[in-house]
Chains A and B, each alone.
Chain A
Amino acid sequence: MIITVASGKGGTGKTTFAVNLAHVLASRGENVRLLDCDVEEPNDHLFVRPEFTDEEQVTVLKPVLDQNKCTGCGKCADACNYNAIAVVKGRVLIFNELCHSCGVCSYVCPEGALTERETPIGIVQIASDNKPFFFAHGLLNIGEALAPKVVAQVKAHIDMEAINILDASPGTACPVVKAVEESDVAVLVTEPTPFGLNDLKLAVGLSLAMKVPTGILINRSDGNDAIIADYAESVGIPIVGRIPFKREYAETYSSGAILVEWHEELQKILLDIYDNVAKLKGTSVPPVPEADIVRIKEDKPAPFPTGTSETHREITVISGKGGTGKTTVLGSFAVLARDKVLVDDDVDAADLHLLLAPSVREAHDFVGGKKATIDADKCIGCGKCMAACHFDAICFDGPSNDLAGKTYRIDELACEGCGFCPLVCPVDAITVEPNVTGRWYVSGTKYGPMIHACLGIAEENSGKLVAQVRNRAAELAVDLKLGLILGDGPPGTGCPVIASVSGTDLVVIVTEPTVSGVHDMERVFKLTTHFGVPALVIVNKADLNTAQTSRIETIAKEYNSRVIAMIPFDRNVHDALMEGKTVIEYAKGAAEEAIREAWSELQKEAEIRK
């Protein structure tokens, strides 16, 4: 049995569910394996606290040059679709971090000077003797792009005799596709808020497209979760269970403890959920629901408000861990700030529009990469493409034609557009074309212009799309003489985050006082330090765990930063979100006051740094 735990949004409780489910099943005597497939931000080990007994290198094939054979002809650089090779003055330079290990360069080299060699990109750590269950996780080296390869190696530890629980990374990018692939059931963890629903839809699109039986788990359910239940019913996906909303659970989680050991009532809840999940194995999968359509406002809108500023600065909110309240904070700043352009840099799972209700004025296609297609009329079924492809992106299940009983077909989710297959096709049946992978929008909101975007499932180059929306925001700021750009960044520390923080004037890290919040905040600090961008910290739900909150203050000091505000745990935050409002608009209260203070601190700080 393989159960993959996924979610469109970070911070919904994926890790909590995966770790605790492993515990209750193991204590019932089941043979359980917990495999953390979130190889960019693995967090399960913070709760499992394993002693690793083995370590495996994860390697991919990368080109190695034999200088003696190279004539400097430059064919390798021309063929590389990722700009990973340069040939200057007859010298070949290979840039490994841009290399996608596609094998094209070695193939096109007429001298046999490039050979593919195993090169490490990460590790898998294994705790075979861990009690009460087997544990393994993968770690991708920072700066490497090929997370799916590490996920695949973590999955090599699946034992078909056991109950395998896979914790996927949040979102719908390639590593999640890799984790969900060949699972018996996908459990999508969500929370009953408009953000939760929005991101759940993305995850549903992915798991159903992959034809994996899917169940929805509602975390932090307070009894009023119709927002998710209605959606689940409309798309034909069962709700496998609910974990109640309790402040005590959040407190236990914050310290890194195992919930089921402290809250016995959760044991039965999780076992019931498991029974519902197990029943889904082998069931038929409903069709992929149609995506929400973004409509362009037809009547002529009023022109955007203008300011008087000759220069502008940019403030970007990021978090590391998902679900810490980034968008909640930024949405409130959007209400408080004057003369600004808003930009949603989280192109993988945009949420800001849920609070600011933009009306779209312009829509643009985003061409983010290339994809191959096989002409089913021309294919002779020889299989040379399949043998060449390094990404397992070619399937032998295309329609028959006059030349072959079965033809080859490209798996669009797996294709990296490297261009190898057309080189080997003897009948020119394959073309590689630029591919529209997303859309981006210029919209009007009550609080000023907003730039936002939407990237397709398992699409690459989200960093490039982030750069695109930020550039448009900067142009608008200049044109309209608005002095501020407020950016809502993506979670994590990967490519899109780098694209969000490079060149921004000030970063605000929104974190929470939990073991994983603190862990991920440190990773974000390393990133902002690397890029030389000043960063300030806001602690959300600061009173949840005061010990962790003081740790945050200490770490911030170590990075020459400081905590500018502490937002208390306040019911209003949740209630405001349920109404699709910012905390500032919703009602006066402790959180509202703290956010106002944060904004005035931020203005002071930005003034000093000007």
Chain B
Amino acid sequence: MKIAVTSEGTTLSDQVDPRFGRCAHFMIVETDTIEFEAIGNSNAGAGGGAGIQSAQLMSERDVKVVLTGSCGPNAFRTLNAAGIEVVTGVGGSVQDAIEKFKAGDLSSSTSANVAGHFGMQKQQ
């Protein structure tokens, strides 16, 4: 299955980026083979609507599940419309996140877990 993990870097050992819409990179991962592709997020610096555009990108990439720290209401609505599952509250390394997901330790969210504009501030 194709999933996406928001990441601070471009390798599996990098940390999960806690922001969805304004994350540094998306790691698009094929869970069966662990083949992955890191794509830079050109929406990270958008004035507004970063989450919406990032969600649209996920849809275009035919991603089925997104693993991230936090997801705001607009991004959630868009991902939902695209039939993409969202798992929030994910931390640690990208590798850990993928393994936890494969082991079934992560469950998807039914609503946004942060208010809009959350990702405007880089979380430390």
Chain A residues near B (Cβ < 8 Å): 77, 82-84, 86-89, 91, 93, 95, 98, 311-312, 368-369, 460-461, 463-464, 466-467, 470-471, 474, 477-478, 498-499, 502-504, 530-532
Contact = CB atoms under 8 A, between A and B. Distances in A.
B122 A83 contact: no
Which 6 A-B pairs give the minimum distances between C-beta atoms? A83-B49, A503-B121, A88-B82, A88-B59, A467-B120, A86-B56
Nearest to A466: B120
B7 to A, nearest CB: 18
Contacts of B74: 95, 98
B85 to A, nearest CB: 14
Contacts of B118: 502-503
B56 A88 contact: yes
Given A463-B48, A467-B121, 14 more contacts: A82-B49, A83-B43, A83-B47, A84-B52, A86-B78, A88-B81, A89-B59, A89-B83, A93-B77, A98-B49, A98-B74, A464-B48, A503-B120, A503-B123
A83 B124 contact: no
Contact of A95 (B52, B83, B115): B52
A86 to B, nearest CB: 4
B9 to A, nearest CB: 16
Contact of B48 (A82, A471, A503, A532): A82
A311 B121 contact: no
B120 A478 contact: no
Nearest to B56: A86
Interface centre among A84, A91, A467, A503 (most CB of B within 10 A): A503
Contacts of A82: 47-49
A474 B122 CA distance: 8
Contacts of A464: 45, 47-48, 120
Given A91-B81, A498-B117, A503-B123, A368 B52 contact: no
A86 B124 CA distance: 29
B121 A504 contact: yes
Interface in B12-36: none
A172 B20 CA distance: 33
B71 interface: no
B88 interface: no
Contacts of A89: 59, 81-83
Given A83-B46, A83-B49, A463 B56 contact: no
29 contacts: A82-B48, A82-B49, A83-B49, A84-B49, A86-B53, A86-B59, A88-B81, A93-B78, A95-B74, A98-B49, A98-B74, A463-B48, A464-B45, A464-B47, A464-B48, A464-B120, A470-B122, A471-B122, A474-B122, A478-B124, A498-B117, A502-B115, A502-B118, A503-B118, A503-B120, A503-B121, A503-B123, A531-B115, A531-B117
A86 B55 contact: yes
A93 B117 contact: no
Interface centre among B48, B55, B74 (most CB of A within 10 A): B48
Say what secondary structure dominates the interface of chain A: mixed
Contacts of B94: none
Nearest to B59: A88
Interface centre among A95, A312, A504 (most CB of B within 10 A): A95
Nearest to B82: A88
A83 B115 CA distance: 18
A144 to B, nearest CB: 13
Contact-residue bracket for chain B = 20 to 34
Contacts of A368: 47
B8 to A, nearest CB: 13
Contacts of A502: 115, 117-118, 120-121
Contacts of A470: 121-122
Nearest to B45: A464
A463 B121 contact: no
Interface string B90-104: 000000000000000
A87 B78 CA distance: 8
A177 B112 CA distance: 37
Interface string B45-86: 111111011011001000000000000001001100111000
B120 A499 contact: yes
Interface string B104-119: 0000000000010110
B73 to A, nearest CB: 10
A496 to B, nearest CB: 10
B56 A95 contact: no
B78 A88 contact: yes
B124 A474 contact: yes
Given A88-B82, A95-B52, A532 B115 contact: yes
A463 B53 contact: no
Nearest to B62: A89
Contacts of B124: 311-312, 474, 477-478
Contacts of A88: 55-56, 59, 78, 81-82
B48 A98 contact: yes
Nearest to A499: B120
Nearest to B77: A93
Contacts of A471: 121-122
Given A88-B59, A95-B74, A83 B120 contact: no
A460 B48 CA distance: 11
A87 B56 contact: yes
B58 to A, nearest CB: 8
B56 A77 contact: yes
Contacts of A87: 56
Contacts of B121: 467, 470-471, 474, 499, 502-504
B55 to A, nearest CB: 6
Contact of A83 (B50, B59, B77, B117): B50
A219 to B, nearest CB: 35
Given A463-B117, A530-B115, A83 B82 contact: no
Nearest to A313: B124
B48 to A, nearest CB: 5
Contacts of A93: 52, 77-78, 81
A87 to B, nearest CB: 7
Contact of B47 (A311, A312, A461, A498): A461
A83 B53 contact: yes
Contacts of A530: 115
Nearest to B49: A83
A601 B117 CA distance: 30
A98 B55 CA distance: 15
A312 to B, nearest CB: 7
Nearest to B55: A86
B91 to A, nearest CB: 15
B18 to A, nearest CB: 10
